[in-house]
C-alpha cells in the first residue's frame, strides 16, 4: 500500500491529485488543511490556537500540528494500510520528526509527490477558490505571504526527499489527466500501484478544484 506525502505550494493541486490517488489505491486521504479548519470551526482551545496562525498565513507550530495529525495518520494506516498526506510536513524539522515517527511505527512514507506551477497561475487559482468557496484566508495579501512561506520553509524539503530517492516532481500547468497519467506511470514503475488493479478502478470523481 502506498504511503504518500503530497508536497506543493498552495494552489498547485495537491488536494486534487491526492484525492485521485486515494481512488486508485484505497489509501486514506488526510488533508492537513481540512483537519485544521475543522478544529478551528469547532472553537476548541486547540482550534483557537491554530486560527491565530492560519489567519495570517503562517505555519502552525510543530507541537500543535503533531497533536492533531499523528492520530489521523495512525488511524489511516490501521484501517486502509496506507495514507495520502496532503499539506504536511511543511518544514525540515517537521519532516525529520515525521520520518522518525514513521520509522518507530513502521509507517515510513514510500513516495513524495512534488507538484509545481507558475506563481501567477497559483495566485489565480487561489483567488478563484476564495470567490467560489468563501475562503477568508485566501486574500491576495495572505496568498502571497503563504507562497513566500512555502519558498522559505517548505521548498528545502524537495532536496531532502529527492536525496532519499522517493520524490516525483510534476508540473500541474497542464490538463489534470496528463498529470495523473504521469503519476500512475511513476507509481506503477516502482511497484506501488499494480497496473491491472489501478486500471480497474475509476479514474477520478468529478473534477475538483486545485488545492
Q: Give per-10-residue mean pLDDT for the chain (211 aa).
A: 94 95 94 90 88 84 89 92 93 93 92 97 94 82 93 94 96 97 96 65 46 45
Nearest-angstrom CA–CA distance, 69 and 60: 12
Asked whether residue 201 is domain-assigned, the answer is no
pLDDT of the residue at 203: 52
- Beta-bridge partners for 86: 6, 31
CA–CA dist 140, 130 (Å, integer) = 10
Cell of 3: 504511503
Q: Would 33 be classed as within a structural domain?
A: yes
pLDDT the model gives residue 44: 85
53, 59 Cβ separation under 8 angstroms: yes
- Report the pLDDT value the prediction gives residue 205, as an integer from 0 to 100: 46
Please tell me the predicted confidence (pLDDT) of residue 204: 46
* 202 assigned to some structural domain: no
User: Are the beta carbons of 170 and 182 closer than 8 angstroms?
Assistant: yes
Q: How many domains does the chain have?
A: 1
pLDDT at residue 206, rounded to an integer: 45
| CA atoms of 103 and 97, how far apart (whole Å) | 10
Q: Flag whether 196 is in a domain.
A: no
Has residue 13 been placed in a domain? yes
Instruction: Give the pTM.
Output: 0.85
What is the span of the domain harbouring residue 117? 3-186
d(CA 144, CA 197): 41
Q: Is 124 within the bounds of a domain?
A: yes
Burial class (CB in 10 A: 0-12, 13-18, 19+), 143: buried
- The CATH number of whichever domain residue 174 belongs to comes to 3.40.50.300
DSSP H or E stretch at residue 38: helix 32-42
Amino acid at each position: 500500500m502506498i504511503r504518500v506525502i503530497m508536497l506543493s505550494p498552495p494552489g498547485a493541486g495537491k488536494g486534487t491529485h491526492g484525492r485521485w490517488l486515494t481512488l486508485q489505491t484505497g489509501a486514506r486521504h488526510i488533508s492537513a488543511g481540512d483537519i485544521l479548519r475543522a478544529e478551528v470551526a469547532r472553537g476548541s482551545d486547540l482550534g483557537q490556537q491554530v486560527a491565530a496562525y492560519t489567519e495570517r498565513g503562517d505555519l502552525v507550530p510543530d507541537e500543535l500540528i503533531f497533536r492533531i495529525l499523528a492520530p489521523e495518520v495512525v488511524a489511516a494506516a490501521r484501517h486502509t494500510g496506507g495514507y495520502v498526506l496532503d499539506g504536511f510536513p511543511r518544514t525540515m524539522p517537521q519532516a525529520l520528526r515525521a520520518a522518525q515517527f514513521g520509522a518507530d511505527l513502521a509507517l515510513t512514507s514510500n513516495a513524495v509527490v512534488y507538484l509545481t506551477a507558475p506563481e501567477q497561475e497559483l495566485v489565480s487559482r487561489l483567488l478563484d477558490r476564495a470567490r467560489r468557496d468563501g475562503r477568508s484566508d485566501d486574500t491576495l495579501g495572505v496568498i502571497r505571504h503563504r507562497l513566500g512561506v512555502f519558498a522559505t520553509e517548505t521548498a528545502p524539503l524537495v532536496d531532502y526527499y529527492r536525496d532519499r530517492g522517493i520524490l516525483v516532481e510534476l508540473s500541474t500547468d497542464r490538463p489534470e489527466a496528463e498529470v495523473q497519467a504521469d503519476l500512475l506511470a511513476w507509481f506503477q514503475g516502482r511497484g506501488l500501484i499494480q497496473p491491472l488493479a489501478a486500471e480497474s478502478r475509476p479514474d477520478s470523481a468529478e473534477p475538483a478544484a486545485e488545492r
